[in-house]
Amino acid sequence: EAGVAQSPRYKIIEKRQSVAFWCNPISGHATLYWYQQILGQGPKLLIQFQNNGVVDDSQLPKDRFSAERLKGVDSTLKIQPAKLEDSAVYLCASSYSGFYNEQFFGPGTRLTVL
Amino acid sequence: AQSVTQLGSHVSVSEGALVLLRCNYSSSVPPYLFWYVQYPNQGLQLLLKYTTGATLVKGINGFEAEFKKSETSFHLTKPSAHMSDAAEYFCAVLETSGSRLTFGEGTQLTVNP
């Protein structure tokens, strides 16, 4: 069974530039999550999708971050414009349905903002 | 709101020694509790979880954890450390309402030969 795929693995941009991350969850998983993991900290949930609907985006900085999951499968997370403090690893995870099922994590995208 | 405290951001043990990673949580109701492991440049992998029932939970790679309600703790142990156990370990708590998974700040485990 293929795992959660993410691309790119690494990205370096300058502040005020835009960046997008892509995630393809495990086939059949209805729930998709984006986490931000700042160096030295645990992952923090940014947004949770159930199929193509948003369940929780309370911790997403909506003035600069956006995410979509149009067909209920893969998802894109965008930052526009990026700030220095956005430097982090962005993890995508998926589960069969909801939090009570195990979340499977992708390898993450390491973003460096200069 | 839920919170998780992992005591010790870095733990170092010798190969073959006991591994003990500490986790305390705050919750008004018994939560679901998890331990995840993260190897360098990889995503998180579930080691074990407590939901209900038996308070001693066994996971993969010889790890186990015990839920102690009176101490609000969920410490992770392994009797004998192996070099391959070197990684970062995260404790996480989920409210039984299922709203959000909250992670601790992680403990980096080093295993010395």
Q: pLDDT band at residue A52, thresholds of 50, 70 and 90?
A: confident
pLDDT digit string, tens, across residues B71-82: 999 999 999 999
The CA angle B71-A36-B41, to the nearest 5 degrees, is 95
For the residues A33-59, what does the mean pLDDT come to?
93
Pull the structure tokens for residue B50. Answer: 């407590």
Nearest of A66, A62, A56 to residue A99 by alpha carbon: A56
For the beta carbon of residue B18, count every other beta carbon within 10 angstroms.
11
B9–A107 C-beta distance less than 8 A: no
Looking at residue B96, what is its pLDDT?
61
Q: pLDDT band at residue B97, thresholds of 50, 70 and 90?
A: low
Least trusted range by pLDDT, from A40-49, A97-106, B15-24: A97-106
Looking at residue A66, what is its pLDDT?
97
B99–A43 C-beta distance less than 8 A: no
Q: Does B19 have pLDDT greater than 80?
A: yes
pLDDT digit string, tens, across residues A101-112: 788 999 999 999
DSSP state string for chain A: ----EEE-SEEEE-TT--EEEEEE--TT--EEEEEEE-TTS--EEEEEEETTEEEE-TTS-TTTEEEE-TTSS-EEEEESS--GGG-EEEEEEEESSSTTSPPEE---EEEEE-
pLDDT digit string, tens, across residues B32-69: 899 999 998 888 999 999 988 888 999 999 999 999 98
Q: pLDDT band at residue A74, thresholds of 50, 70 and 90?
A: very high
Report d(CA B15, CA B109) in Å as an integer.
Answer: 12
Contacting residues of A for B103, CB less than 8 Å apart: 42-44
Pull the structure tokens for residue A63. Answer: 């003035």
Report d(CA A85, CA A44) in Å as an integer.
Answer: 14
Best mutation target, A91, A103, A110, A111, to test chain B (most B CBs within 10 A):
A103
